[in-house]
């Protein structure tokens, strides 16, 4: 019996808790934000610049979800203009290695996957 099956039996939730966590950390923006915050504390605007393609709304939602899950901390400073910084928590830092490994895998295999997709699409049309 796998660890996943054991947790499902113990929790009695059919695996929904584990799937929820995997859904959160497995989405494209969460992994990119986690990998980006590996460089240390960052302000929202800096984060947005370092995560190409993410909208302001999606970055806001992603940061809120990661903060709720205890992976990112948010610090607000009472200044004018207001300053808010985000950083990985201890638990969030444990995801950096897997996040970077997945990103490196995607970069390394991107040309092959593109080729396979084109070949598949050509066969389907």
pLDDT at position 62, please?
A: 97
pLDDT at residue number 18? 80
Instruction: Please compute, for residue 42, the number of CA atoms within 13 A of its CA located in the half-sphere on the CB side.
Output: 20
Q: What architecture does CATH give domain 28-124?
A: Orthogonal Bundle (1.10)
pTM score, two decimals?
A: 0.80
Question: What residue segments make up the domains of the chain, in order of their start?
Answer: 28-124
- In this predicted structure, the answer to whether residue 4 has a pLDDT above a threshold of 80 is no
Angstrom distance (rounded) from CA 122 to CA 97: 37
pLDDT in tens, 10-67: 777 777 878 888 888 888 899 889 999 998 999 999 999 999 999 999 999 999 999 9
Identify which has the larger pLDDT, 28 or 87: 87
């Amino acid at each position: 019996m796998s660890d996943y099956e054991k947790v499902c039996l113990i929790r009695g939730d059919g695996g929904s808790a584990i799937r929820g966590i995997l859904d959160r950390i497995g989405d494209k923006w969460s992994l990119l934000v986690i990998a980006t915050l590996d460089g240390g504390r960052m302000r929202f605007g800096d984060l947005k610049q370092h995560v190409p393609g993410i909208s302001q709304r999606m970055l806001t939602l992603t940061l809120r979800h990661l903060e709720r899950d205890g992976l990112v901390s948010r610090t607000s400073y009472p200044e004018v203009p207001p300053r808010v910084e985000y950083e990985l928590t201890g638990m969030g830092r444990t995801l950096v290695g897997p996040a970077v490994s997945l990103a490196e895998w995607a970069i390394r295999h991107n040309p092959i996957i593109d080729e396979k997709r084109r070949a598949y699409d050509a066969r389907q049309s």
